[in-house]
Structure formats: C-alpha cells, structure tokens
Structure 1
Amino acid sequence: MKRFLPDTFILLMIAMVILAVIFPFPAADDSPINLTRIIAIGISLVFFLHGANLEREKLVSSVKKWRVHTLIQGMTFVLFPIIGLIIFFATGELLPDILRLGFFFLAALPSTISSSVALTGVARGNVPVAVFNATLSGLIGMIITPALMGIVSTTTMGGLSIGDAIVDIALTLLAPFVLGQLMRPIIAPILAKHKWILSRFDRGVILMIVYASFASSVLGGVWTQFSIMQFFVTAIIVMILLFAAIAVSIFASRRLNLSTEDEVATVFCGSTKSLANGAPIAQILFAGSPSLGLILLPLMLYHQLQLIVCAMLAQRYAEKQSLVANPAVE
C-alpha cells in the first residue's frame, strides 16, 4: 500500500499550498517576516552544503560532460522557444495577446537556479552538472531572453543590468559553493556522518519556495485577473508543456546513453523555468504595463506545477537509486 500513498514530503508540499492560500500574509512586502531574505539565505546554505559535500574531482569531471551541457542548454534556449512560438501563433483564437505573450516569455526564460540543484540533490543526481548548468543558464538568460522576446513583442524594452545579474548569481550561488569547497576538510566528515542534514535542508528550501510562490500569487491577485475559461486553457497548455519537456529530456538522455545521475540533472535543469529570474526581467521588459500580472500568469502556473511534479519525480528517482544501491531492500 505504501507504493500508492503519498510520502511525507509530498503531503508537506500540499500543506504549504493550502497554508499559502489561507495565510499568505508573511509573503507580503510589509510583512515583518522577510521570506525573500530567508529563502535567499536558505539557497546559499544549500549551495554551501553541496560545495562541502562535493568531491572536487567530480566537479572538474562534470565540466567536461559537453553532451549533457549541450542537451540542457539546447532544451532551455532552443527547444523551449520553438515550442513557445508554436503556442504563440496557434492560440490566437483561444487566448488574448497578453497571455500568448506570457507563454513565449515563459519559454524564453532560463532554467531555475535553486530548485533544479535542490531537486537534483534530492533525487541523488549529478549535483555538479546541475550547479554548472543552473549557473550557466542564468547567465545566458540575461542576454538571450530579452533578445528572444523581440521576436514577438513590440513592447519597449529597457536595458538589462547584466553586470548586476552576474554579481548577484556569484554572491548567491558560486561564493557559498566555493566556500563550501574550501571548508570541505572540516564539513565533509560531519555530512558523511549525518547524511540526513543535506537532504532535509534541500527539502526545507523547496517547501519554503513553494509556500512563498503560492502566497505571492494570492497576494498579487493574479487569480482574479482573467476568466475561468482562460485560466482552464492556460493551465492545460502549461501542463502539456511541462510534461512534454520532462518526456523529451528523459527520452533524449536515454538516447544519448547518459547515466541515471546525468539524466536526473538533465530533467531538472532542462525542463524547469525560473520565476526568480523571470519576475525581475518581466518588470524591466514590460515596465508600466497594466497587464504584467497576466503576462506572468503562465510562468506562475508553470513554476508552481514544476515544483510539485518535479518533487514527486525526484522522490521516485531517489527510491530507484536506493534500490540499485541496496538491492536487498527490494
């Protein structure tokens, strides 16, 4: 029966969604609880722990895995935009122009930075590959995303501060990761003795991200700015897009005979889209637009759905890896 029942982590994610709907106020701008800062600190600690837990030889070897990197970045900045163009032109009779623009904006965004690495860690995948591609995707996206938006948008675009974005990524991700590597001789024995620390912290950060993203959407009144039919069509397209991205990433990984660890990193880096990068970019590209909420709607739905679906998939990958490592358990 346990195979058919949700585990504790999935139940906690559902609880976070319900809590965000009932009590979203901690995510408000004037809340005494600065969730954004707490999550940022949590993300940095995740990268610090991954840096301390990672053997340097594995990180160096991951840089050489050009097939994995090409597949992930190709999905993010080639396959997704092509699908986004198809959706944009195919839904002219179903959705208003703003929502169609929102779908292409979703497709043009880089991969998640924190979630993809955390999910890869939960699934016992190749964390160095995930770290490398999450960082690379964020950097490339600062240039490629606005360029891609010029294909379908006539909105006046402001200039992106690429330098600030690089500094932000470096401070949030790379600096803690490098610090963890430097402190590995001290921290690694503790993590090896208490392996639960890293997995529990990964899950905790994901739960915070789920709560904050749902709570922010509730407070922003995103759900009141469109009709039920538009929401239904948008949700269906978002689900199809996500499941198609996951299916393609799994299929391509296995066609290339990638290891299970590399497949995990490919799935979570190649199929996810970043709300953390997407929201600030949208505020610059569509500054002053009264329909910014609707433009962000596909991204909001995709982001929240990807966290739930990918968390469930990560659990399945982790169980599979555990059975391979301990066949007697089965």
Structure 2
Amino acid sequence: MIQLLAKVGINGFFFCLIGMIVLAYFYPSLGTEQSILHLPQVAEYGVSLIFFFYGLKLNPEKLKAGLSNWRLHLVIQLTTFVLFPLIVLAIGSLFPVDTSSLLWLGVFYLAALPSTVSSSVVMVAIAGGNLPAAIFNASISSIIGIFITPIWMSGLLEQQDANFDVSHVIVRLSLEVLLPVVVGYFLHQRLGKWVERYNSTLRMFDQCVILLIVYTSFCESFAGNMFSGHSAAEIIQLGFWMLLFFLAVFGIMNLVSRWLHFNRPDRITVLFCGSKKSLVQGAVMGKVLFPNPVLLGVVLLPLMIYHALQLMVGSMIAQKMGREEIER
C-alpha cells in the first residue's frame, strides 16, 4: 500500500507541500514580492520551463492513437470543464453558501481547472484502463484549460475587479504556458529521448517549482493575515465537502459510463481522468488569474485539499479495481 501511495503521488513531495505551508507560516517575509530573494519571479520563469519540458514529453504517435474514441474523450472533457462547475454553481444556489468568500472562489476555481496528467495516467494503468486514451485526455485537457478556465472564472472575477480582462489572461497564459508546450512538442523528435533519460530529474525540477509557487502564495497570504477569519473547524469542514465532491463526481461518471455502455477499460479511464484536478495548472494559472498574491494562498487551499484526497481515495479505488481485473 505504501508503494502504491508513493506511485500516485503521496510521497515526499506530498509532505513537502505541507511543509511549505508551515514554513510560510513561520517565515512569510522570505517569499513575498518585497523579499530580496525575488522568489515569486523565479517561480514565473520556472513555470515556462515546466511546460516546455511537458511539450517535449508529448509523443505524437501516442496522441494519434487516442484520437478515434471520440465519445470517450467528449465525456471526459465535459465532466472536467462542465459538470464540475455546474455542480458547484448548483450547490451555491440551493444552499446558504457565502459565494463572496475567497474559499468559495477557490472551490469554483478548482471546479474550472483541467485534469491532472501524471496521477490520472498512473491510476488508469493500475486499475487496468485504456492507457492511450488516458494519455490523450490528460494531455489535451491541459491545453483546453488555458482557454476554458479563464472564461469560467471571468464572471466571478469581474464582480470582484471591474478591470478584469479575460482576453488579457488568455493571451498571457498562451505565452507563458501554451507557447512553451508547442515549442517543446515540435522539438520532441530531437529531444524526446533526452527527456526520457532525465525524466526523474525533470520531475524533481517540476516539483521544486510547484513547491516554490505554493510557498510564495502562502507567504503573501500569511503576511496579509488572509487566514485570520478562518478557523480550523472551517478548514476541516472544507475537507469533508471536498471529499463528498470527489465521490459525487466519481459516482456520476460511473453511472454515465455504464449508461453509454462503455467497456470496462474505457469506464476506468472516464472515472480517473474525469475526476482529477491539476495542482500544477492550478498553481500556474492562479498566479495569472489572481494578480494580488495575498489572495492566492487562500484560493489555492480547496485545490490542495482536493489534490490530497484525490490521490488517497483514488489510489485505493484504483488498487481495488486492479485486483478485480486480476481475479477475472
């Protein structure tokens, strides 16, 4: 079980994320915009490198192999970018929720984000799902999210900031995220083998950049006393709702995939690609969508909780499905 958890992401990096929050609490001044270390600026350059290396890893043959199963792709992308936000909006209209709070904004931001890549693919492989389709959907989701996520967020952010310009956000994300991916993709044939050889080192680089983004975001939030109005009970309650959120989406996708008569490998792919949300994309887009760094740590909190839960609960479900496949 420990090896499985480590494989899907509950490893040293997972605990380092928690450590970054603790470090930011005790030493917030080191990660702010005013710090002599300029860590937020370092993180911005690191983000573009992350997505350049991501583009290098995209194999054109593997992407082509997953193109034909259009119904499967459509269900996964609609779940990621339509079902998630609609569930949150429905909860906000049916229950007495403070939709002006930053935590609520963070929950909706989580719902609007693309799917994660690595853990989705790993869990599909463990459970015995359609791996080429998982790779295709996880990859394409990251690109679609550059355009869809800002559009979903524009309504809420325009209410908070009349000067919010969604077109400016999309252009900036295209330059910082999409352009490096495209450049990397076209260099895959030349540098793809190099990326495979140093994949573990590059993965460590990715994780360091994400840790830096999390640290600087929470430094700004703690320095601005943004968590002073939130008790530990509220955070625990948020975790409970995030767990229900994950299980609800997982259950809905199971029903939809059975209703559409997907075979078992395709159903597994729907479940694990459709229910995940990307912490990497969330941290990266958050720096663009929320230019006030004081707000970002609070907004990222629901995503970080959901990220932890999707790894823990998802890994247990993937392991169970994998055992069932072996026993068949």
Q: TM-score, normalised by structure 2?
A: 0.69
Q: CA deviation at 1:271?
A: 10
- Match of 2:191, SS? helix
Deviates further, 185-194 or 171-180: 185-194
Find 2:180's aligned residue among 153, 159, 176: 176
How far did residue 15 of structure 1 move?
2.7
Query: What residue number does 2:148 align with?
Result: 140
Cross-structure match for 1:304 = 304
Aligned residue number for residue 34 of structure 1: 38
| 1:230/1:11 CA distance change after superposition, 3 Å | closer
Counterpart of 2:53, as a letter, is: L
Distance 1:18 1:68 in 2: 41
State how far apart, in whole Å, the 1-side matches of 2:139 and 2:278 are. Answer: 13
1:57 corresponds to which residue? Answer: 61
Q: Which moved more, 1:232-241 or 1:37-46?
A: 232-241
Per-residue Cα deviation, 1:124-154 (whole angstroms, up to 9, x for no partner): 774443232222133123334334x49xx9x
Question: Structure 1's 16 and 172: CA in aligned 2 closer, same or farther, altered over 3 A?
Answer: same
1:215 is the counterpart of 2:194: no
Q: Provide structure 2 residue ranges, at least 5 long, that are not aligned to the other structure.
A: 126-130
Determine the C-alpha separation between the residues in 2 that align with 1:243 and 1:213.
Answer: 28
Residues 277, 110 of structure 1: alpha-carbon distance in 2 compared, 3 angstrom cutoff:
farther
Does the alignment pair 1:25 with 2:40? no
Q: Partners in 2 of 1:32 and 1:9 — Cα distance?
A: 26
When residues 226 and 121 of structure 1 are mapped into structure 2, their CA distance, relative to the original with a 3 A threshold, is same
| Residue 194 to residue 173, structure 1, CA distance change in 2 (3 Å) | same
2:60 and 2:75 mapped to 1: Cα distance?
A: 23
Shift of 1:305: 1.0
Q: Residue 146 of structure 1 aligns to which amino acid in structure 2? A: S
With over 3 angstroms needed to count, the CA separation of the structure-2 counterparts of 1:165 and 1:51, relative to structure 1, is same
8 A Cα contact 2:112 2:152, kept in partner: no
- The equivalent residue for 2:137 is 129
In the alignment, the residues of structure 1 paired with residue 53 and residue 71 of structure 2 have an alpha-carbon distance, to the nearest angstrom, of: 27
Identity score, percent: 23
**8 Å Cα contact 1:44/1:172 also seen in 2:** yes
- Any conservation in 2 of the 1:122–1:315 contact (CA below 8 Å)? no
**How has the CA–CA distance of structure 1 residues 119 and 207 changed in structure 2, closer, same or farther, with 3 Å as cutoff?**
farther
8 Å Cα contact 1:117/1:131 also seen in 2: yes
Cα deviation for residue 183 of structure 1 reads: 2.2
* Equivalent in the alignment of 1:81: 85
Match of 1:103 in 2: 104
1:72: how far off? 3.8
CA shift for structure 1 position 82: 3.3
Contact 1:246/1:271 (CA < 8 Å) preserved in 2?
no
- After superposition, the Cα gap between the structure-2 partners of 1:218 and 1:10, relative to the gap in structure 1 and judged at 3 Å, is same
* TM, length-normalised to structure 1: 0.69
Contact 1:121–1:199, Cα closer than 8 Å, also in 2 = no
